[in-house]
Amino acid sequence: MFESQYNPPAAFFAELAGTDALWLERHDHYHKQTYRNRCLILTAQGVKPLTVPVIDGNRSEKISTSAIEIDYRQNWVHQHWRSLQTAYGGTPYFEYYADYLHDIYVQKHSLLFDLNLAFLQLYLRCLRLRTPVEFTTEYHPRYAPAAVLDRRDCLTPKAVGGAEPDRKSVQPYMQTFGKDFVPGLSILDLLFMQGPAAGSFLA
């Protein structure tokens, strides 16, 4: 089980390998500064977060994640797209995926959960993962270990560069900038660099 994430890190998909289904949490309270509304990409200046602004952010933590609305008063779609073009426009597979991604962005989903789900379904297809996606019907703070593998909030932007699961579960691959492999980046980084072979790095 995972929470909904915006352009999730590669480790998110590595953890799906061999699972019977992916359960997405619909009924938890929204948490700020998580992958729910942000992802990390690699630029010439280093790791850069891309954050989807939400409406009424000051009280958003009291709202169910599935009810969080995206704030389009800010021109974030253009900013995110330009950042992706700048960081990855020269990668081997940016053009291969660009139209699919752009189509999702321009749909302007009103809810963050729906935007994240659209991207998730695309990435599952790109990685050839046939993992069925199910949704929780009510919130439970804890689950019995034998019932479900609860991985909610196990991946966090704050852990990037440290000992987080991405370092163990994603094989290093050539990245656009720097000499050392940077873990914790969005699945986009892996897809743009490795294309159809990306799934083989999720071990």
Rg of the chain over Cα atoms, rounded to whole angstroms, equals 16
Who wins on pLDDT, 159 or 75? 75
pLDDT of 140 reads: 87
pLDDT at residue 166 above 70?
Answer: no
Between vectors from CA 6 to CA 153 and to CA 167, what angle results, nearest 5°? 55
Q: Stretch 154-159: mean pLDDT, rounded?
A: 81
* pLDDT value of position 168: 42
Model pLDDT, residue 32: 86
Q: Which SS3 state, helix, strand or coil, does residue 27 take? A: coil
- In the predicted structure, residue 184 carries a pLDDT above the cut 80: yes
For residue 160, the model assigns a pLDDT of 56
pLDDT at residue 165 is higher than 50:
no
Angle between helices 94-106 and 187-194 (to 10 degrees): 140
Where in the chain does DSSP place strands (E)? 2-3, 22-25, 38-43, 46-51, 133-135
Query: In this predicted model, what pLDDT tens digit does every residue of 92-124 receive, in sequence order?
Result: 999 999 999 999 999 999 999 999 999 999 999
Query: What does pTM read for this prediction?
Result: 0.91
pLDDT band (50, 70, 90) for residue 157: confident
Average the pLDDT over 52-75 and give the result.
Answer: 86
